[in-house]
Amino acid sequence: MAQTFEQETLQVLLRDVPFVTEARYLPSTTSTNDVLKTLAADGAPEGTLIVTDEQTAGRGRLDRKWIAPPASSLLFSVLFRPVLAAQQAHVLTMLCSLGVRDAVRDTLGLNVGLKWPNDIVHRGHKLGGLLTEIDADTERLRWAIVGIGINVNWDPSAVPGLAQPVTSLSNLVGAPILRQDLLRSILQAVSRRYDALKTGLWPAREWEGALETIGQRVVVEGPATPIEGTAVGVAPDGALLVRTASGQVHRVVAGDVSVRPSGTHDA
């Protein structure tokens, strides 16, 4: 049977992660982002972490469902209270996705890529996603929550109806993975990168370098007319820059858009 996270194990694991101030394990919950949102509104400190083995209402952007069988995945959310404006919140998605990439490389020797704006991928196959949610006043963020779901020890490729090719870390390395080690490594990387951000190191260029999306022909679909072109880079705030046939470069912000490779269609 798959191993679950134990509260005590979590405490021991997180002793050496400076960023984590409180860690709670829930065997099953609706969504770690939803639980943490309530705690954030009640004043929970920066660095609060929620980890679960099962989500009954896991979701991605636009309320799309996130699927994960019990004890198969890494499912967790972390709370930030950064000195940033609301429009800068995407930097936390950048920072955390780079942290996942660091940790997968360090613990498994595997190089994963990223897909704009919030996916973890390996050669076009999605293996994880991030969901950043915020509360802000006019001046700055009150809090930002980054939820992370990663397919670890299961094979999602047989799940019907997923919009794109999918994979998992165990599929890629060909062996089961100890989720606790990976979680610790991710949080350590996020902690390091958050400290760097506070000293003014903005990760947009590094994030751009990790995006499989750059150089691809893409179609951006959203409330407005679809834009088709080549993804040529990202702006410092994380907006995707798409050059169309006329040579015009469009700035695309995450919000409610979907980006798919040109030539494919959503299911």
Backbone angles phi, psi at 181, to 5 degrees: -65, -40
In whole angstroms, the minimum distance from the beta carbon of 126 to ligand ADP comes to: 4
* CA 58 to each of CA 3, 79, 123, 187, 262: distance values in angstroms, whole numbers, following the listed order: 20, 17, 25, 21, 28
**Of the two residues 245 and 267, which places its CB atom closer to ligand ADP in the complex?**
267
**Of the two residues 62 and 196, which places its CB atom closer to ligand ADP in the complex?**
62
CA distance 17 to 4: 21
**Of the two residues 21 and 30, which places its CB atom closer to ligand ADP in the complex?**
30
In whole angstroms, the minimum distance from the beta carbon of 254 to ligand ADP comes to: 9
In whole angstroms, the minimum distance from the beta carbon of 5 to ligand ADP comes to: 18
**Of the two residues 67 and 89, which places its CB atom closer to ligand ADP in the complex?**
67
> 140 is written with which tokens?
């700055």
Query: Which parts of this chain interact with ligand ADP (CB under 6 A)?
Result: 60-62, 64-68, 118-119, 126, 129, 151, 156, 162-163, 166, 258
In whole angstroms, the minimum distance from the beta carbon of 156 to ligand ADP comes to: 5
State the CB neighbour count (10 A cutoff) for residue 137: 8
Distance, CA of 66 to chain centre: 12
In whole angstroms, the minimum distance from the beta carbon of 157 to ligand ADP comes to: 9
CA distance 222 to 234: 18
**Of the two residues 40 and 220, which places its CB atom closer to ligand ADP in the complex?**
220
- Residue recorded with tokens 């636009």: 62
